[in-house]
Structure 1
Amino acid sequence: MNLKEIFGPEGLISKSLPAYEYRPQQFRMAEAVVKAIDNKKHLIVEAGTGVGKSFSYLVPAIGYAVANSERVIVSTKTINLQEQLLKRDIPFLKQVLPLSFKAALVKGRSNYLCLRRWERELKSKEEGLFDNVGEARDLQMIADWLQETTDGSLSDLEKLPSNRIWNKVCSEHDNCLGKGCSYRDNCFFQKARKKIYEAHLLIVNHHLFFSNLALKKVQADFLPLCKCVVLDEAHQIESVAGDYLGIEISNYRIKHFLDSLSTRERKKGLLIYLRAGDALKYVDRARSQAALFFKDILKSMRNIDSPIKRIRKPDFFSNCLDGPLREIYSSLKELKSRAKTKEDELEISAWMRRCLDLADGLNAFLGQTLKDHVYWIEREGKGFKRVVLKSSPVNISVELRENLFTQVPTIIMTSATLVTNNSFQYFKDRVGLENPLELKAGSPFNYEKQVRLFITKKMSEPQEVEKYREEAIEKIKHYLKLTEGRAFVLFTSYKLMNEVHQALQPFLKEQGINSFRQGAGIPRNIMLERFREDVNSVLFGTDSFWTGVDVQGEALSNVIITKLPFDVPDHPLNEARIENIRKKGGDPFLEYSLPEAIIKLKQGFGRLIRNKEDKGIIAILDSRLLTRSYGRLFLNSLPPCRVIVD
């Protein structure tokens, strides 16, 4: 395909999209993608908001896939971008491009209902193994939905059933009968798989992509081996990949596992269904040992302020769960040998694997057997009742290099925030990328005309907590008056956000400005929708509002950034990365803390201007931009705009 005939001022896109304007940045990016695919090279592209980067990678990817009868994976972090690709960009390109192609959304296998397991659960219900009204209601809801669904996946359900019920009826690799299943012709998973093998474009999310990578099978069930992969929102890949290359075991996961075998009252569960009374004592023993195990963990955290505790040495607790879990495994193995049907045999096998995964995971965590990992305990959720044992690789670069970059000929990585200090070096080092093609595509927006950046000089530094907070409150009042609300106020901690939000209530009421605060019980998407509708309102947010939020028009005319977004150095993962750099003789601040903060500041800055008509102000309430030598590095990484020292 000739790119000029598609992207040019008189091209196919321009003729079909009335508001379309030729953007040289978009064209340059498309050329770079073609070059990378043709030369079997990896490519990194930083493309600012407004470039239209999805067309820049979709058009070459489609051309390559159709011409070579190949598939291209496009992976994104957010649902919003997935929906944009599937509901807007791809349908448009199907109308415009002079070739026929197919695209498919890839979901994890457990998103699909298994008809065989579903029938099994109905049988359990008929035998009186469901005395819970909620579970019976969930089963009826699924039964009604089955009369009309063609997709058979969770996203097709208006209301989600409980995890307990869905885990009993979803499709799983371990207990699939394959060709021997009587439901195979109507299997939702197999229908979805068929669409995938017929498609040219496979749209996935980073979590599914990297969970398959962690299993070292990029060609797994839903991700056939591809010669070209696009990773959009690529600034997220280190954190997502790290999640899947480590350990995560919670008290809730162990409880769910044991309850699925047999509830405490011995009324429901796999062992009850199989009438395996002899094995119940092992479940009871594991349950009592789990209670003691997590009680000891909570006791060890009683005298620390943080909900997170790093575990520096192995065997900090004795593994009292290993014995009971091994006993459960042995009893399941015995049950399997006596299984009367192939279905029972597969179901038992699946629970044997889960049991072994738990036992091995606990041993790996407590013994700290994973090389170059950091280990910690975290309390989460309401009342901090969820206790999680976590580990993560300190550096994922080797894993990604060996299992991704050397396995797939072309990987296109793009985001609006990959460059620090005018270089991709930090990103390349973090993900293990060597000698890729590089492009800084820039942005079509005129930031000089659209943005005024206010930097406060006469303010206490954030380390002077009390003085800084009081001065920040007054500055926020000042900047909110300039735009009559219509603002995001972005924080790096919940504590400061809550204190400032509370202190500003009389002022906001006096000004007639409504406010929304993250963590106030309103779902993020609903909060954003209300913010858009209430044009003069103010939204107070922390981490998740710095990125992936798109509010166009006058509703967002002001972004107030309270502090330079340096990560908290005492989180175990940050702490371990800093130690690792120091051990090698490097400078942790320049090599890790500063680049991470620069990327996050760019993300916060990027919330304001979302199209060519947007305009407004950004205020950064941190004098270190002017008083510290590294301040210049932050400013140099932002788009050129009018700077006002206030």
Structure 2
Amino acid sequence: MTEKETRRYAVVDLEATSASPAASIIQVGIVIIENDQIVDTYQTDVNPHKKLSKSIINLTGITDSQLQKAPDFSQVAAEIYHLISNCIFVAHNVKFDANLLAEHLFLEGFELLTPRVDTVELAQIFYPTFDKYSLENLTELLAIKLLDAHTAIADAKATAELFLKLKKKMASLPRLTLERILEFSDSLLYESYLPIKEALTRASAQLPSDYQEVAGIVLKKEEPLLQERRLSQDFATNLALLNLEDRPLQLKFAHLIDKHFQEKTATFIEAQSGIGKTYGYLLPLLGQVPKEQIIISVPTKILQDQIMANEAQALKNIFYINAHSLKSPQNYLKLDAFYESLMRNDTNRLLNRYKMQLLVWLLETKTGDLDEIRQKQRYAAYFDEVRHDGSLSKQSLFYDCDFWQQSYRRAKSSRLLITNHAYLLTRMEDDQDFVKNHILVIDEAQRLFLALEQFSQCQVNMTKMLQQLHQLLENSQDILEQRLLENLQFELNHLLQLFYRQKKKQIKQEDAERLRQHLAEISLPELAELQNVFAASFSDFWFEESFSSDHRTVLLKSARVDFTDFTQSFPAAKKTYLISATLQIGPKINLANLLGFQEYTFDKMVGKQTNQQAIWIDQTMPSVDELSNQDYERLLADRLSQIAQLDKPTLALFNSKKTMLAVSELLDSSQLSHLTQEKNGTAFNIKRRFDRGESLLLLGTGSFWEGVDFVKQDQLIEVITRLPFDHPEDIFIKKLNRKLRQEGKNPFYDYALPAAILRLKQAIGRTKRKDKQLSSIVILDGRVLTKRYGKIILQSLTENFPVRIQNFSELLAEMKNFLYNKK
């Protein structure tokens, strides 16, 4: 094939009777590209001489009557072959299209031997930060028109536009990067390296000014700091400059931030969700003179990324505010480790594709934060290998451009620093000056108490640890060491058997002391994690299960007997604000008490009832303690299926990951499209996909209760599958209950019930994030109506929301009317 001919591509898409290799072709779409221009198109229906399934008709819009008028494949085979036989065959998932077409042509006497290029794999390499590579997703992200999706010519035209964008991006990359990528091109499907090789012939050897080359790797240069503009002293003016409308409650909140700024004591402000708290504290604090560094801590990395992408970016664009997102070292790529992996000859195709992907990503990333790579879970072991460990030799080739070092420097010089509660505690413990003379804002402060407890815990993965012990035993040459390892292995296996068979989570003190003694006599670095778990400072030990869609993990955890006092354990900032919609947990308990604050100011902004949100309680839902797990899961799946018929974005919140995954399986069997946390991706990924409208139903737990905002949806249904009580057997809850009893308080009525109500209100608050947003909340837990404490929950909810108690069929009808006819 000549050089000129290699520039002729046939982009092909087929529609078929199924996704099986034995399927019949029902439609062919072809787009011919030459010299980066579309020069020809071809389309035809094909009569398969069999009826189509309903799923194919629904997917493609093609009908049996339409195909009855179409030619047989034998009538169009020669025309198709002569059009594409001298081209490189390009398709989105080329294996299916090329194999199916080649087989059909072969049966007609034509042998198709063209090279093949796959746009799925090329997109994965050259658009490394996307979380999904379906044609629909790529066309949306890259602003490619895709009309009549799942018709062959429409998909072929969209794939052709995608391929041209890929070629254009390849050609724009530095020559050195393309050369490094081609070193791993043997791992690409078929001949997908050909357009990369073609791009190399056009690439410039000279690096653009915003890149640097270090040890053969091309990196984006660090951005210089901006010269900050001065903010107005008028809050409304700053909002107007940001093109935002002022809101009365947000203005009142901002005044409270200003009012308490000069006070040395901590300031607690309780304010309802949806008033714009983030700008409410950022703008007044950024306007203060002198210009102090402001450290914002939020509960999750999802919210951290959310603020950086939204508020921090807007402040950078308008006021040139230097903002930086600070995470633990493990979030960043360690260039030394990545360089070593490039030097290594790996045969794993997926691993080598990730190397290529990271080479492209290094031209784009400003931070080196591996959270930007959305599909790294497919080969987690490789990313564990190249993660930063927080150490860096001064002899490192990458010392001056190391991402963790850059992050550390940037953190000191940025005006606005965004972090998360877990890393805030770690950093404050390691660096006594981290918050000194700075302003600290702890947002969603109610989550800090739990983060503080998790910070004082330690854990080890039992599966990995037992594998490690087995390996150590096999390799040990010392008889005494072997005996100690055998004793340790026996004790751990015995405790695990008790956990599996008798559900004994808690480890007795005498068993813990015996394990401590064994570990004290063994000096092996491989057991450091286990030794940390049994350190002298820990007194409570237990097993805990973590479920995902395909496996179960058992963790051995330990904790201190006493709660950590936040005010005594960590250095104080110049000024501290603790902000949340839920600070007053109950009449006798508030967050300030739990954190150890003796002196503080407390302001509560009273929220108003809104007619944009309404709550329905299903009075026909049986109490959870009346049903088996299987019956409960089936009932939830049935309720969600009926709610899905309202055709509105729906968030279903679960307390149990196990229940959530079981319900998801039932929904799969009924072919109801949905997204499930962990099963279909991380919370961050599935939230993005839900916002894009990939599915109207999202099943979530954990951070979805109180850490994720739903702003994109004008209308939203939220389903509370179960009241969010803490599990009474949870070690943390047992520890808290012990503390409350010592203080003469009732653990259930003074903490557990108020905390559940607050968590419920937090979840409801996630659905009202803008003025005209409509949301309907369904509670599928009969305990609200049958238990004595249910009256307290109802009374609390009716203070803020209209509440209706109905049977499920009436509830559905009213919700439909509310969402479709509300003015």
What is the TM-score normalised by the length of structure 2?
0.59
Partner of 2:453: 242
Q: SS of 1:592's equivalent?
A: helix
Q: SS of 1:54's equivalent?
A: helix
d(CA) in 2 for partners of 1:531, 1:16: 27
Q: SS of 1:310's equivalent?
A: coil
d(CA) in 2 for partners of 1:156, 1:482: 35
1:456-509 CA deviation, whole Å, 9 max, x = no partner?
A: 456654333369959966994798389456433434335655676777899x88
Partner of 2:250: 26
Equivalent in 757, 764, 767 of residue 605 of structure 1: 764
Q: SS of 1:548's equivalent?
A: coil
Equivalent in 296, 299, 319 of residue 494 of structure 2: 296
Which residue identity is paired with 2:274? G
Which residue identity is paired with 1:248? Q
1:623, distance to aligned residue in structure 2 (A): 4.7
d(CA) in 2 for partners of 1:62, 1:424: 35
d(CA) in 1 for partners of 2:657, 2:336: 46
Equivalent in 278, 287, 295 of residue 63 of structure 1: 287
Equivalent in 358, 367, 387 of residue 554 of structure 2: 387
Partner of 2:94: none
- Asked if the contact 1:536–1:555 (Cα under 8 Å) also holds between the matched residues in 2, the reply is no
Which residue identity is paired with 1:391? S
Partner of 2:534: 363
Q: SS of 1:190's equivalent?
A: helix
Greater C-alpha radius of gyration: 2
Q: How does 1:537-548 map to 2 (within 5 A)?
A: 537-548=696-707
1:442, distance to aligned residue in structure 2 (A): 4.7
Distance 1:171 1:527, change over 3 A: closer
d(CA) in 2 for partners of 1:470, 1:105: 40
- Asked if the contact 1:72–1:226 (Cα under 8 Å) also holds between the matched residues in 2, the reply is no
Q: Is there any run of 5+ residues in structure 2 with no aligned partner, and where?
A: 1-228, 807-823
Which residue identity is paired with 1:154? L
Partner of 2:260: 36
Q: SS of 1:408's equivalent?
A: coil
Which residue identity is paired with 2:731? P
Distance 1:362 1:500, change over 3 A: closer
1:410, distance to aligned residue in structure 2 (A): 2.0
Distance 1:483 1:47, change over 3 A: farther
1:594, distance to aligned residue in structure 2 (A): 0.9
Aligned pairs, how many?
A: 573
Partner of 2:567: 401
Q: SS of 1:30's equivalent?
A: helix
Partner of 2:519: 322
1:400, distance to aligned residue in structure 2 (A): 0.8
Which residue identity is paired with 1:85? I
Q: How does 1:590-601 map to 2 (within 5 A)?
A: 590-601=749-760
Partner of 1:104: 324
Which residue identity is paired with 2:555? V
CA RMSD, Structure 1 to Structure 2 (Å): 4.5
Equivalent in 57, 80, 88 of residue 310 of structure 2: 88
Equivalent in 302, 310, 317 of residue 506 of structure 2: 310
1:69-114 CA deviation, whole Å, 9 max, x = no partner?
A: 53221112233432332233123234545xx642222232344455
Q: How does 1:181-196 map to 2 (within 5 A)?
A: 184-196=399-411
- Asked if the contact 1:47–1:415 (Cα under 8 Å) also holds between the matched residues in 2, the reply is yes
Partner of 2:610: 448
Distance 1:614 1:526, change over 3 A: same
Distance 1:324 1:251, change over 3 A: farther
Query: Are residues 1:200 and 2:422 paired?
Result: no
Q: How does 1:256-295 map to 2 (within 5 A)?
A: 291-295=489-493
- Asked if the contact 1:476–1:560 (Cα under 8 Å) also holds between the matched residues in 2, the reply is no
- Asked if the contact 2:676–2:700 (Cα under 8 Å) also holds between the matched residues in 1, the reply is yes
Which residue identity is paired with 1:361? N
Q: SS of 2:625's equivalent?
A: coil
1:55, distance to aligned residue in structure 2 (A): 0.9
Q: Is there any run of 5+ residues in structure 1 with no aligned partner, and where?
A: 267-277, 330-353
- Asked if the contact 2:466–2:489 (Cα under 8 Å) also holds between the matched residues in 1, the reply is no
Query: Are residues 1:376 and 2:542 paired?
Result: yes
d(CA) in 2 for partners of 1:117, 1:498: 36
Q: SS of 2:611's equivalent?
A: helix
Distance 1:85 1:529, change over 3 A: closer
Equivalent in 753, 758, 774 of residue 615 of structure 1: 774
- Asked if the contact 1:483–1:557 (Cα under 8 Å) also holds between the matched residues in 2, the reply is no
Which residue identity is paired with 2:446? H
d(CA) in 2 for partners of 1:554, 1:156: 24
Query: Are residues 1:564 and 2:786 paired?
Result: no
1:200-242 CA deviation, whole Å, 9 max, x = no partner?
A: 11111222112234x45344xxx46453211112222122222
1:406-428 CA deviation, whole Å, 9 max, x = no partner?
A: 6224221222333445x694322
d(CA) in 2 for partners of 1:240, 1:437: 23
1:245, distance to aligned residue in structure 2 (A): 1.1
Which residue identity is paired with 1:587? N
Query: Are residues 1:411 and 2:586 paired?
Result: no
d(CA) in 2 for partners of 1:389, 1:225: 36
Q: Percent identity?
A: 24
- Asked if the contact 1:418–1:427 (Cα under 8 Å) also holds between the matched residues in 2, the reply is yes
Equivalent in 192, 214, 217 of residue 431 of structure 2: 217
Distance 1:541 1:363, change over 3 A: closer
Distance 1:541 1:202, change over 3 A: closer
Distance 1:244 1:503, change over 3 A: closer
Equivalent in 247, 260, 269 of residue 45 of structure 1: 269
d(CA) in 2 for partners of 1:192, 1:564: 41
- Asked if the contact 1:490–1:540 (Cα under 8 Å) also holds between the matched residues in 2, the reply is yes
- Asked if the contact 1:289–1:321 (Cα under 8 Å) also holds between the matched residues in 2, the reply is yes
Q: SS of 2:610's equivalent?
A: helix
Q: SS of 2:280's equivalent?
A: helix
Distance 1:182 1:625, change over 3 A: closer
1:53, distance to aligned residue in structure 2 (A): 0.8
d(CA) in 2 for partners of 1:557, 1:115: 43
What is the TM-score normalised by the length of structure 1?
0.73
1:597, distance to aligned residue in structure 2 (A): 0.8
d(CA) in 1 for partners of 2:396, 2:717: 59
Bigger RCO of structures 1 and 2 (CA < 8 A, at least 6 apart): 1
- Asked if the contact 1:624–1:631 (Cα under 8 Å) also holds between the matched residues in 2, the reply is yes
- Which sits farther off after the overlay, 195-204 or 87-96? 87-96
1:167, distance to aligned residue in structure 2 (A): 5.8
Distance 1:186 1:600, change over 3 A: closer
1:115, distance to aligned residue in structure 2 (A): 5.2
Distance 1:323 1:79, change over 3 A: closer
d(CA) in 2 for partners of 1:501, 1:160: 23
Distance 1:531 1:147, change over 3 A: closer
- Asked if the contact 2:675–2:695 (Cα under 8 Å) also holds between the matched residues in 1, the reply is no
Which residue identity is paired with 1:237? L
- Asked if the contact 2:633–2:659 (Cα under 8 Å) also holds between the matched residues in 1, the reply is no
